[in-house]
Structure 1
Amino acid sequence: MPAGRARRAGRGRPGVREAGGEGAALVLEAVVAAVRSAWTDLRRGHREDWYYVTLTTSGEGERLALTAWSEQALARVGDEGLRWSYADSPYCAWGEEWLAGVRFPRGDPDRALETAVEALAVLDAEGAFGTGAQRASLLLAAEIMPPDHTNTTRVLRLNRPSAVLERWLAEAAED
């Protein structure tokens, strides 16, 4: 286990409720709180230039995972081809201890992904991902893995026209 993950594993999940069978509003509230905590923790520990933040789920759609990439992390990895690869990020599934308590019905990835979009939009409106030029340089995504064309639809919903969006569309968007 990487040192950063071991260090974080002992922390609790402040602000997150077990969503279980609760209503959609409570599940959204739990995801917003979990992502806020994970993103804050990541930025505090790594003062870097972030360009990509994604919430991912599998085709089963039971859980969400936060992943991010920064220019500094990409330079350390040394492979430009990994720019949009959530699985290869050193910050893959960051803050999983906060998101662990939020579960979705098995086999319903659409619900998990729609909640991810809504949560990212709430946090974006709060300014959690920056404002102005800082926000314009960051791509937000809610993605299913393996990737398909619906990822592109969600990315377009979450981002205004920008250079980072154009780059993602050219390099990573699924048809």
Structure 2
Amino acid sequence: MDFQEELTNELYNAVKTILTDLFSNKEHYYYITLVTDGGAHTPRISAWSYEVLYGSSSEEQEKIKWSYADSPYCCWKQERFEKVEKLLSSRKNIWDLNAEEFETEYQLRFEAMEMAMNRLDQEGIFGINQKRNDVVVLVEVMPPDHANTARAYRMNSTDSEIFSEWLQEVAEPPE
């Protein structure tokens, strides 16, 4: 098994376990993201449900609606990414790579994240507690860049009203 396949499998296992636990609260989610930093290090899950969002003031809702960091579900069960972290740590430090090597490693990691989320999507996990088209599923880098939007288009239906809202309210314009 090559590194990308192994990473995809570990990400899939971690995210499936995390979301299965998270969705047991029966809330209705509109935003689920697998987010990482500019070095494509160990990601974290973040999510927003309508129940939690509507528990905030309307002024606060505007500020936090799409904020992975402000969600009470940010880093939910983060310890489930332990195998992912070990696997990534077994690689050469991404910041020690030359520009071409960095880009190759960076893309490999993001492709693994996207493949894991797509596999979960095909299995129907994002349709638990809500219709699939009622939730935006993302793989994001923070701070955000145009690649988030490109990945979002691959992962969500353009017929989705909530995806259209995400595009209008926070998406970075494509290059």
Q: Where on the TM-score scale, by shorter chain, does this alignment land: which range?
A: 0.7 to 0.9
Between the aligned partners of 1:74 and 1:113, the Cα distance in structure 2 is: 28
Larger Rg: 2
1:67 aligns with 2:29: no
Deviates more, 1:99-108 or 1:78-87: 99-108
Between the aligned partners of 1:139 and 1:116, the Cα distance in structure 2 is: 15
Query: Once the 2 structures are TM-superposed, how far is the Cα of residue 116 of structure 1 from its aligned partner?
Result: 1.2
Between the aligned partners of 1:60 and 1:54, the Cα distance in structure 2 is: 17
When the two chains are superposed, the root-mean-square deviation of aligned CA atoms in Å is: 1.8
**Match 2:138 to one of 133, 138, 141:** 141
**Structure with the higher fraction of residues in helix conformation:** 2
Query: Once the 2 structures are TM-superposed, how far is the Cα of residue 47 of structure 1 from its aligned partner?
Result: 1.4
C-alpha contact (below 8 Å) 2:32/2:46 kept by paired residues:
yes
- Residue 94 of structure 1 aligns with an amino acid whose one-letter code is W
TM-score, normalization: structure 1?
A: 0.81
Q: Any unmatched runs of 5+ in structure 2?
A: 95-104
Query: Once the 2 structures are TM-superposed, how far is the Cα of residue 80 of structure 1 from its aligned partner?
Result: 1.8
- The higher relative CO (CA closer than 8 Å, separation ≥ 6) is in 2
How many percent of aligned residue pairs carry the same amino acid?
A: 36
Q: Any unmatched runs of 5+ in structure 1?
A: 1-20
TM-score, normalization: structure 2?
A: 0.81
C-alpha contact (below 8 Å) 1:34/1:98 kept by paired residues:
yes
- Residue 122 of structure 1 aligns with an amino acid whose one-letter code is R
1:93 aligns with 2:91: no
Query: Once the 2 structures are TM-superposed, how far is the Cα of residue 111 of structure 1 from its aligned partner?
Result: 2.6
Between the aligned partners of 1:111 and 1:89, the Cα distance in structure 2 is: 28
Deviations, residues 47-79 of structure 1 (Å, cap 9, x unaligned): 111000000010111211011100011122332
Query: Once the 2 structures are TM-superposed, how far is the Cα of residue 22 of structure 1 from its aligned partner?
Result: 6.0
Between the aligned partners of 1:77 and 1:22, the Cα distance in structure 2 is: 45
C-alpha contact (below 8 Å) 1:58/1:109 kept by paired residues:
no
